[in-house]
Amino acid sequence: MIRRIDRIAIEMPPPSDPDPVGAARVQELMGGRFGEMSTFMNYTFQSFNFRNRQGARPFYDLVANIAAEEFGHVELVATAINTMLTGATPVNGGHAPKASLAPLKDVGNPHHFLVGGQGALPQNSLGQPWDGSYVFSSGDLVEDLTHNFFLETGARNGKLKVYEMVEHPAARALTGYLLVRGGVHQVAYARALERLTGADLMKLFPAPRIPTDKIPECRPHIKRGDHLRLYRFSPKDYLELSAVFNGPHPETGEDLVVVDEAPEGAPAYDLPSQPAVFAPDYAPEDIAEIAERLRKKAGLPNEPTGEVANAKRSPAKPRRAAPRKKPAARAKK
Amino acid sequence: MIRRIDRIAIEMPPPSDPDPVGAARVQELMGGRFGEMSTFMNYTFQSFNFRNRQGARPFYDLVANIAAEEFGHVELVATAINTMLTGATPVNGGHAPKASLAPLKDVGNPHHFLVGGQGALPQNSLGQPWDGSYVFSSGDLVEDLTHNFFLETGARNGKLKVYEMVEHPAARALTGYLLVRGGVHQVAYARALERLTGADLMKLFPAPRIPTDKIPECRPHIKRGDHLRLYRFSPKDYLELSAVFNGPHPETGEDLVVVDEAPEGAPAYDLPSQPAVFAPDYAPEDIAEIAERLRKKAGLPNEPTGEVANAKRSPAKPRRAAPRKKPAARAKK
Amino acid sequence: MIRRIDRIAIEMPPPSDPDPVGAARVQELMGGRFGEMSTFMNYTFQSFNFRNRQGARPFYDLVANIAAEEFGHVELVATAINTMLTGATPVNGGHAPKASLAPLKDVGNPHHFLVGGQGALPQNSLGQPWDGSYVFSSGDLVEDLTHNFFLETGARNGKLKVYEMVEHPAARALTGYLLVRGGVHQVAYARALERLTGADLMKLFPAPRIPTDKIPECRPHIKRGDHLRLYRFSPKDYLELSAVFNGPHPETGEDLVVVDEAPEGAPAYDLPSQPAVFAPDYAPEDIAEIAERLRKKAGLPNEPTGEVANAKRSPAKPRRAAPRKKPAARAKK
Amino acid sequence: MIRRIDRIAIEMPPPSDPDPVGAARVQELMGGRFGEMSTFMNYTFQSFNFRNRQGARPFYDLVANIAAEEFGHVELVATAINTMLTGATPVNGGHAPKASLAPLKDVGNPHHFLVGGQGALPQNSLGQPWDGSYVFSSGDLVEDLTHNFFLETGARNGKLKVYEMVEHPAARALTGYLLVRGGVHQVAYARALERLTGADLMKLFPAPRIPTDKIPECRPHIKRGDHLRLYRFSPKDYLELSAVFNGPHPETGEDLVVVDEAPEGAPAYDLPSQPAVFAPDYAPEDIAEIAERLRKKAGLPNEPTGEVANAKRSPAKPRRAAPRKKPAARAKK
Amino acid sequence: MIRRIDRIAIEMPPPSDPDPVGAARVQELMGGRFGEMSTFMNYTFQSFNFRNRQGARPFYDLVANIAAEEFGHVELVATAINTMLTGATPVNGGHAPKASLAPLKDVGNPHHFLVGGQGALPQNSLGQPWDGSYVFSSGDLVEDLTHNFFLETGARNGKLKVYEMVEHPAARALTGYLLVRGGVHQVAYARALERLTGADLMKLFPAPRIPTDKIPECRPHIKRGDHLRLYRFSPKDYLELSAVFNGPHPETGEDLVVVDEAPEGAPAYDLPSQPAVFAPDYAPEDIAEIAERLRKKAGLPNEPTGEVANAKRSPAKPRRAAPRKKPAARAKK
Amino acid sequence: MIRRIDRIAIEMPPPSDPDPVGAARVQELMGGRFGEMSTFMNYTFQSFNFRNRQGARPFYDLVANIAAEEFGHVELVATAINTMLTGATPVNGGHAPKASLAPLKDVGNPHHFLVGGQGALPQNSLGQPWDGSYVFSSGDLVEDLTHNFFLETGARNGKLKVYEMVEHPAARALTGYLLVRGGVHQVAYARALERLTGADLMKLFPAPRIPTDKIPECRPHIKRGDHLRLYRFSPKDYLELSAVFNGPHPETGEDLVVVDEAPEGAPAYDLPSQPAVFAPDYAPEDIAEIAERLRKKAGLPNEPTGEVANAKRSPAKPRRAAPRKKPAARAKK
């Protein structure tokens, strides 16, 4: 089971100039064969299917715990894509019969606008859906770890390339962070293989080459030591990480560290409505009104209780220029 | 982000007679269009992509929180499948040149044996991979909720049919529980739609018909009130569930309840090695030895720290009939 | 546009002993690359996309008109599959917690029971979905006709093999008919190519070899001349078929004939409910009651107006053994 | 069975400025999960598989009859795409070694030019093929109707967005019409569910919001009452539509009406040849000559008998600038 | 470019008792993610795409040359499947209206009989088609080699499991050989990585564990030294293999060897016709007659020139029980 | 089995202006349904599965031998794509944190840059993977040949269109050659069908129309007689081609000729490194250094032994502007 925390792994930049083409490319890190859905789902299934856990506890703990971190990476990729798509359609008065989406006719992934609500999709950079055949779970521990090491290598390649292709601040913040954390996972799986077989995969590092310390968006994370740390993403479980994850980092020689609790993360921006694609509605203020009424009736505080990065004033209530006729179909409960 | 708890949603029966055909069919609840990967991923993406969260906080909280529960359902389906596959291959001496898999040549899903290690796969009952195109995330709140209600309806149909097709205790325990919890989610999405629009979908219940109280494996969960409860799967977030999830249950008239913490769950069985498929290895005791050494070196307790349902004695160390030559390739660190 | 006639192409046998394995194989004629969905959709798209129709009118009429017949073939394959699946589950008392589907755990296509309601699916004999990539519509008339000739050849191969594999009366009635009609379409496309280019593809017949007159289920159709006739499936259009479809039949030397109206067909059996899979419901008699009430209220006749093969008394009202409690959720309008 | 009518649902605008990018996006309404192939195939399979038709006749008639209308919608989407692609390649002298397709190298869906003949394909806006897994046919009437209501809701979302993205007159004529008719189908399925269960889904309308009367291309259809009418697409069958489809329209309160015959429709434009992509040939006039000869030989009228929107003079015979050598390979029959 | 040799890699057993279920499982080694099509296509594409070949010549030669061997492995898998399917249908008199395929209705992969002619298909053990997404060709040499090492590891797992599942002599001969050769390729890629980076992957061997010398069907190949040899599959090229492939074998310590020419291989059995599935025809002797005539006319020898394992008398001319009427459609040239 | 020759079918132009959009479109000839992977794999599988080879030897030899040529076509398509992609990224200093791929964010197939190393992929012009379902191998000789004729017809259509769409010299050289050779294969399969059945498909030629002698890039190949020749791609086998492939060419009337050995071909260009996508590495000169050392140690010549089109000086050693620090992770063996 999981518990969910309504925070994201790191502070992400607020929406700025939209970049729908960039968002279409960042999808590779979401639904590509080497994207974060793949890392999340691979390690999750491997942990579900892990036999003789007690006998191999340090390895089970390693795989199961990294799986948990990967959920946060999937979430972060989504956050970046959503941020980059924000503002791509007109905020006001964009409804049919206006051609509010016409400027996007030949821009990026058409599903971002025609099928989704300017939101992330489980697709790759070609708009192809992520697929369960990307999951490798042979049950053979050495083989699964070999796979995971290779998967992280491919993932690192993808992150580097997306970094070089997409300059939007959200994409850069994303890839800078993922490169550092993916590097840790690469090391973790290499070390696990070393512990089991003696093979010294550490000599492959970094693969692909390009040390992360050359990349400005990686540096804050390196500075804080995140290139050395494996966090324990559980309040009480996965206590044996340190049996595997220890020794020197292959590139820097510094000691690898298990941190006994998950990172605190940061609140996400509450991204504004995009009414042209009905997200979350044609007239978002109606929903806000209903929500207020329901909250009151349930005895909840007047202000929304959720924590978001963009301060007090929720974007849910844009100033309204003119009085609005209430649609008949809305409930009055 | 998530935190992971090394427990499963409910106590599951230990391995008994293996049922690889049944396991192949239970996969529909894993990777089918209406399986648990679909519910998990649909609500997860909808929550990632939710715009104007503050304005629609009770609805965001609802979707995001149910997503968290669904992870546990995916895990439980995997547990059932793994349990049903346990013992399908011979425990001793099954390696090539012996034909240890010959009895399984025409049984169930061949990927369970040829590709996986007698473990769950992200596939449906036909062995087809789960697919990102099963995720619907339009951003339009009313539409997403309509989808979710329909998805839960299809999921309930699938659970009932798997219940009727597969009699293995693990499948029955699984479907009994999922039917009760899926029913709660159906109600939750119907109520959310009612709150937003006034539409009374409650009259559709139960759909498909067959009250869960007729099903013995559902009854303990109903007795404990689980057909009325929405658990909050977060230590601190998703506080506004009660703004939507309230009022009478459509079938029984009892009051719906938000429970302010996640269910405790239960430890999983540590399923035994299946060396014929190399899970986790040809000779699992070697891994256990290495693990012990690593644990000691890291200053961890002698006994594995993980909690499993099957007591003290880990299955990791089956008695060995004869002295074993240590393979040269194993590390000695 | 189309008009729909509530009759099927030929009289089909009533349900007899169920044959779910056979039904799974007959699916190849539905959703296989060379199945009837492919012939229907190929010719339909080619007719939609036909440019310079007036200039090439006889060819346009040919393709568009054969497309219309193919819809009836898709329908007939579905009829056969549904007939073969009828009775595979127990008619009475099969609901959970009973294991009414247990005998089907390892029988045929699991989607027939777990996902569908013992009904045909757009899948092939492996349970793989039909796919738009099976449609070839190059716009080049000679090329499209070459494709169509090849498609019919592959389709004939499939029909012969399904005939030889599946002995259920519905499968035999189906393939007997389709072999005769497919043969006509093969001839039609060969002749069209001959008219356009002079190439004599008639010498390829029959391909695959096995004259249909050797097959008892083909003979009634041959006797009635159906191996020579192209029916015009339109009240007023597609008048120029005879410009292409004429001359001797390549195997028998008899004259090909254009028949100026569509075949009369026959009413379908009203296949009985299969409540174990909720088709059309857990308790079909409730729906029948509602339908009666609605019909009355709308001033329609007391008896259902539809024509079905199985006589007066609809199978909708099986005798009920015991008084039934009306579920609260049913409407009373 | 069907009868085919060589007319399309409404008058469509003639070819004007080509819009290949727009055509690529309109494909979403063809082969997308929520496109017209999906509505057509879903209702068609549900009608094929409908058990106990007599007992549930009004519902069977409803589903079977709407299926028939959807064929015309698929056809109309194809018409729009073909119209938009017309003229995208040069009409004269575009053959190799000329680079007639070079201007289209990076425009729209490359399959429209490289694989098809500037014609519609069973693909979505990403060029992905339509897939039989989009068909839902559970056999459970309440569930199938819930699906259909959701499908129409998703389809409406897609139509609105395509309307806003693509301004070509053919796309606008298409979506204006489909929005009105799709709205009727949404209402029909909601009402059917209400009749069966009492659930009031009418309060969800319109979903997604944006009343069609705000859209100029919808208005003529609304004015003529098409937002209230269910046409009976059969000469003799499906007589019980009125038992379900009645009462007030949820948005306007006007009475819903069953019209006892299908709409008359309109002739399609005979779209001109596009010889650069060999549609229907490199030198379309050759085919026209052959057709003329065949027509004469068969005793058919001199002029093509088909009805097309563009008047007397068929586009099949463009003036020829220079005498043409007859290719040796053409038949002389 | 390639030259093709009409011989297979090793002597394979002649057809014996058919094993269609086994054949369906062996397909995993053909079209599975880790099957031989994957090894062949991965290394082939990597060699096509190899940049700076001169600078990295030994590595280019290694990948390009192993690719060439893999073609022979694909061929061998096909040979095994075809051998196992031979005899599954009746040799005489099996044509419609006889139900010659009825005994196969529920046996193995239905496409082997309904779509193919009892022949191998590019599918896996579930009947799913091989897919270009299985090809990894990043261009990064270290990464591609890591992939290849992992691919060979997964392939070895699959071969071991197929060995243990399928006892048919053809399957055993196949897997015995592939295990030995796959082991060589695993070593080759590990050594290449070692040469480039110093990482010692040799310590992972064998992975999965189970030394091949325990397997009787491997032993003849080991005895002949095939576990140590890399053959050069080119008359003149790929001369630099020895720069990478040298040093001790990780399991035995024996020296690795580059053999300067390709193995001689062996002729394949000419597998007999299976007329029930029209392979190569309904009445194969007709084709043989035509072939004889054509051969004579072309001045070729009277006897077929091809070399096959089964001796002089070709199986093409089974004794005929009764005089045969020549079908009119056969050519007389 | 095959032998591999390190030469390509014809001289190809060296890299010039990169054309990544064109490369994305040329992929249709690689991984499209009618691309060269399809011709290669179709004929290869048909030859693997050919039953009664001795009885039908001339036909077996024809199919098996053409398969061998098709490998060279796949290779040539890859060569063209790789050539067109060369130079699309900056040669110097393009690594992260630089945005070296930013200019390619919306250009061509994103997988060429994000997933591959500016290399060919087994995908079509939409980026969709090639699929085993494109292989048709029914075993029925007449049917397989009909398929092959149709496949070549579709392939010719695709080549003509790619010719007209993509003007890059590599694409033109490619399609000019493939059109001529594809024409020969079309003729070969038509003739084979004629030999077997008497059907005169020769009258369909050319299909699609557009004689190749109008195309400058075809002319050199025609001049040299390549439109008439079937090469024997084997040192010793497939001797009976001439029994089928003879008689007049359908367009020119010239005699068809079997050439008793394979074409000599030409060396490929050694395409330069593209370090921005790590192909073959971030710093290709490191690999070159290692290769040199390994070559020396193995007693190989100092200069690379491979033959490449671009002369003596390998592109592997670009001049270096500044001294380079050797990465610690590189091996020193």
Q: What is the DSSP string of B260-323?
A: SS----BPPP-PPPBGGGTBS-SSHHHHHHHHHHHHHHTT--SS-----SS-SS-TTSPPPSS-
pLDDT at residue C24 is higher than 70: yes
Establish if C283 touches chain B: CB-CB under 8 angstroms: yes
Dihedral of the alpha carbons of D178, D182, D185, D191, in degrees to the nearest 10:
-150
The predicted pLDDT at position D93 comes to: 58
> Are A115 and D163 inside 8 Å of each other by CB?
no
Report the range of poorest mean pLDDT among B28-42, D12-26, D76-90, F89-103. F89-103
pLDDT at residue B162 is higher than 60: yes
* One-letter identity of residue C2: I
In Å, how far is D215's CA from the nearest CA of chain A? 5
Residue B257 has phi, psi (to 5 degrees) of: -135, 135
Q: Searching chain D, which residue's CA lies closest to the CA of residue C135?
A: D122
Contacts 24+ apart (CB under 8 A), E188-191: E188/E62, E188/E66, E188/E230, E188/E244, E188/E245, E189/E145, E189/E148, E189/E149, E189/E152, E190/E149, E190/E250, E191/E244, E191/E245, E191/E246, E191/E247, E191/E256
Residue D333: burial class (beta carbons within 10 Å; 0-12, 13-18, 19+): exposed
Establish if D135 touches chain B: CB-CB under 8 angstroms: no
Mean local confidence (pLDDT), F252-276: 96
The predicted pLDDT at position D312 comes to: 55
Establish if D128 touches chain A: CB-CB under 8 angstroms: yes
pLDDT at residue B319 is higher than 80: no
The predicted pLDDT at position D73 comes to: 98
For residue range C184-195, what is the model confidence (pLDDT) as tens digits? Answer: 999 999 999 999
pLDDT at residue B262 is higher than 80: yes
Distance CA C193, CA F317 (A): 59
E279 DSSP 8-state letter: B
* One-letter identity of residue C140: D
Mean local confidence (pLDDT), A222-229: 98
Report the range of poorest mean pLDDT among A60-64, B110-114, B212-216, C319-323. C319-323
Mean local confidence (pLDDT), D24-36: 98
| 8 A C-beta contact, residue A89 and residue A276 | yes
pLDDT at residue D191 is higher than 50: yes
Choose the mutation target among F52, F60, F63 for the interface with E, i.e. most E CBs under 10 Å.
F52
The predicted pLDDT at position B320 comes to: 35
pLDDT band, very low/low/confident/very high, at F284 (cuts 50, 70, 90): confident
Size of interface A-D (CB pairs under 8 A): 85
Contact call for A and C: 3+ CB–CB distances under 8 Å: no
pLDDT band, very low/low/confident/very high, at D99 (cuts 50, 70, 90): very high
In Å, how far is A47's CA from the nearest CA of chain F? 27
The predicted pLDDT at position E93 comes to: 59
pLDDT at residue C253 is higher than 50: yes
Per-residue buried b or exposed e for C75-101, using 16+ beta carbons within 10 Å of the residue's own CB: bbbbbbbbbbbbbbbeeeebbbbeebb
pLDDT at residue F43 is higher than 60: yes
pLDDT band, very low/low/confident/very high, at B57 (cuts 50, 70, 90): very high
Q: Which residues are registered as beta bridge partners of D221?
A: none
For residue C135 the two structure tokens come to 């449609």
Q: Is D318 helix (H, G, I), strand (E, B) or coil?
A: coil
User: Contacts of residue A138 in chain E, CB cutoff 8 Å?
Assistant: 154, 157
CA-closest candidate to residue E217, choices E258, E187, E185, E173 = E173
Distance CA B178, CA B181 (A): 5
Dihedral of the alpha carbons of A17, A18, A22, A27, in degrees to the nearest 10:
140
Mean local confidence (pLDDT), E209-216: 94
pLDDT at residue F311 is higher than 90: no
Establish if B53 touches chain E: CB-CB under 8 angstroms: no
In Å, how far is C303's CA from the nearest CA of chain B? 27
Mean local confidence (pLDDT), F297-311: 93
pLDDT cut 70: percent of chain D above it: 92
Establish if C328 touches chain B: CB-CB under 8 angstroms: yes
> Are F199 and C198 inside 8 Å of each other by CB?
no
> Are F157 and C143 inside 8 Å of each other by CB?
yes
User: Contacts of residue B110 in chain E, CB cutoff 8 Å?
Assistant: 24-25, 28, 125-126
The full length of chain D comes to 333
Q: Which residues are registered as beta bridge partners of E257?
A: E229
Establish if F204 touches chain C: CB-CB under 8 angstroms: yes
CA-closest candidate to residue D281, choices D82, D37, D9, D95 = D95
| 8 A C-beta contact, residue B276 and residue B101 | yes
pLDDT cut 90: percent of chain E above it: 89
* One-letter identity of residue D108: G
pLDDT band, very low/low/confident/very high, at D316 (cuts 50, 70, 90): very low
pLDDT at residue D324 is higher than 50: no
For residue range D137-183, what is the model confidence (pLDDT) as tens digits? Answer: 999 999 999 999 999 999 999 999 999 999 999 999 999 999 999 99
| 8 A C-beta contact, residue D27 and residue D111 | no
Establish if D132 touches chain F: CB-CB under 8 angstroms: no
Distance CA C114, CA B208 (A): 13
Size of interface A-E (CB pairs under 8 A): 73
User: Contacts of residue F120 in chain E, CB cutoff 8 Å?
Assistant: 45, 48-49, 137
pLDDT band, very low/low/confident/very high, at D282 (cuts 50, 70, 90): confident
For residue D301 the two structure tokens come to 């009228």
| 8 A C-beta contact, residue B10 and residue B173 | yes
How many alpha carbons lie under 13 Å from residue E216 in its C-beta half-sphere?
Answer: 7
Query: What are the distances in angstroms from CA B42 to CA A109, B4, B45, B134, B136?
Result: 20, 20, 5, 8, 6
The predicted pLDDT at position E95 comes to: 82
CA angle E129, E133, E135 (to 5 degrees): 105
pLDDT at residue F323 is higher than 90: no
CB atoms within 10 A of CB F205: 21
Size of interface E-F (CB pairs under 8 A): 432
The predicted pLDDT at position D330 comes to: 42
pLDDT at residue B190 is higher than 60: yes
Q: Which residues are registered as beta bridge partners of C314?
A: none
CA-closest candidate to residue A148, choices A218, A67, A247, A205 = A67
Taking only residues 93 to 112 of chain B, the set having a beta carbon closer than 8 angstroms to any beta carbon of chain A reads: none
pLDDT at residue A329 is higher than 60: no
pLDDT band, very low/low/confident/very high, at F312 (cuts 50, 70, 90): low
Q: Which residues are registered as beta bridge partners of C129?
A: C123
> Are C164 and E95 inside 8 Å of each other by CB?
yes
User: Contacts of residue B277 in chain E, CB cutoff 8 Å?
Assistant: 161
CA-derived radius of gyration, chain E: 22
CA-closest candidate to residue C156, choices C123, C122, C121, C190 = C190
| 8 A C-beta contact, residue A270 and residue A277 | no
List chains touching A (3+ CB pairs under 8 A): B, D, E, F
Per-residue buried b or exposed e for F208-220, using 16+ beta carbons within 10 Å of the residue's own CB: bbbebeebebbee
In Å, how far is F203's CA from the nearest CA of chain C? 5
Establish if F331 touches chain A: CB-CB under 8 angstroms: yes
For residue D294 the two structure tokens come to 């065949």
In sequence order, which residues have a C-beta less than 8 Å from that of residue C106 and are 6 or more positions away?
A: B21
> Are C277 and B161 inside 8 Å of each other by CB?
yes
Please state, rounded to an integer, the average pLDDT across all residues of chain B. 93
Of C138, C150, C199, nearest to F203 by CB-CB distance is C199
pLDDT band, very low/low/confident/very high, at C312 (cuts 50, 70, 90): low
The predicted pLDDT at position A316 comes to: 43
User: Contacts of residue F187 in chain C, CB cutoff 8 Å?
Assistant: none
> Are B165 and C114 inside 8 Å of each other by CB?
yes
Contact call for B and C: 3+ CB–CB distances under 8 Å: yes
ipTM for the whole complex: 0.94
The predicted pLDDT at position B95 comes to: 82
pLDDT at residue B316 is higher than 60: no
Residue F8 has phi, psi (to 5 degrees) of: -105, 170
pLDDT at residue F324 is higher than 90: no
Of A3, A271, A304, nearest to B5 by CB-CB distance is A3
In Å, how far is C136's CA from the nearest CA of chain E? 19
Establish if F177 touches chain D: CB-CB under 8 angstroms: no
Mean local confidence (pLDDT), C191-213: 95
In sequence order, which residues have a C-beta less than 8 Å from that of residue F300 and are 6 or more positions away?
A: E239, E240, E242, E243
> Are C154 and F138 inside 8 Å of each other by CB?
yes
Q: Searching chain F, which residue's CA lies closest to the CA of residue C156?
A: F143
Establish if F7 touches chain C: CB-CB under 8 angstroms: no
In Å, how far is A68's CA from the nearest CA of chain D? 31
The predicted pLDDT at position F271 comes to: 97
Taking only residues 57 to 96 of chain F, the set having a beta carbon closer than 8 angstroms to any beta carbon of chain D reads: none
* One-letter identity of residue B132: G
Query: What are the distances in angstroms from CA F173 to CA C124, D93, F108, F217?
Result: 41, 22, 20, 6
* One-letter identity of residue D287: I
> Are E105 and C209 inside 8 Å of each other by CB?
no
Per-residue buried b or exposed e for D250-274, using 16+ beta carbons within 10 Å of the residue's own CB: bbeeeebebeeebbebeebbbbbbb
List chains touching B (3+ CB pairs under 8 A): A, C, D, E
The predicted pLDDT at position A90 comes to: 83
pLDDT at residue C330 is higher than 60: no
Q: Searching chain E, which residue's CA lies closest to the CA of residue A205?
A: E197
CB atoms within 10 A of CB A210: 21
pLDDT band, very low/low/confident/very high, at F96 (cuts 50, 70, 90): confident
Distance CA B116, CA B110 (A): 9
Q: Searching chain E, which residue's CA lies closest to the CA of residue F328?
A: E197
Distance CA A209, CA A201 (A): 14
User: Contacts of residue F168 in chain D, CB cutoff 8 Å?
Assistant: none
First to last CA, chain A: 35
Report the range of poorest mean pLDDT among E45-49, F28-32, F281-285. F281-285
CA-closest candidate to residue A194, choices A147, A244, A240 = A244
The predicted pLDDT at position C317 comes to: 42
In Å, how far is C277's CA from the nearest CA of chain B? 7
pLDDT at residue B311 is higher than 90: no
Sign of CA dihedral A10, A225, A182, F91: positive
Size of interface D-F (CB pairs under 8 A): 85
Alpha helices in chain B (DSSP H): 20-31, 36-48, 57-85, 111-114, 141-165, 169-197, 219-223, 284-297
pLDDT band, very low/low/confident/very high, at A283 (cuts 50, 70, 90): confident
Distance CA E204, CA A197 (A): 6
E327 DSSP 8-state letter: P
pLDDT band, very low/low/confident/very high, at B96 (cuts 50, 70, 90): confident
For residue A1 the two structure tokens come to 């089971």
Mean local confidence (pLDDT), B230-243: 97
The predicted pLDDT at position F169 comes to: 98
Q: Searching chain D, which residue's CA lies closest to the CA of residue B137?
A: D154
CA-closest candidate to residue B91, choices B118, B64, B127, B109 = B118
Query: What are the distances in angstroms from CA F259 to CA F1, F242, F246, F264?
Result: 21, 9, 11, 12
Establish if C216 touches chain E: CB-CB under 8 angstroms: yes
Mean local confidence (pLDDT), B5-29: 98
In Å, how far is D309's CA from the nearest CA of chain A? 27
Per-residue buried b or exposed e for E90-117, using 16+ beta carbons within 10 Å of the residue's own CB: eeeebbbbeebbeebbbbbbbbbbbbbb
User: Contacts of residue D25 in chain A, CB cutoff 8 Å?
Assistant: 105, 110, 114
> Are E305 and F233 inside 8 Å of each other by CB?
no
The predicted pLDDT at position D166 comes to: 98
* One-letter identity of residue A317: K
pLDDT at residue A40 is higher than 70: yes
Q: Which residues are registered as beta bridge partners of A258?
A: A230
For residue range D223-244, what is the model confidence (pLDDT) as tens digits? Answer: 999 999 999 999 999 999 999 9
Report the range of poorest mean pLDDT among D204-218, E260-274, F2-16, F82-96. F82-96
The predicted pLDDT at position F270 comes to: 98
> Are F204 and C199 inside 8 Å of each other by CB?
yes
Establish if E129 touches chain B: CB-CB under 8 angstroms: no
Distance CA D245, CA D62 (A): 8
CA-closest candidate to residue A155, choices A138, A170, A134, A137 = A134
Establish if A299 touches chain E: CB-CB under 8 angstroms: no
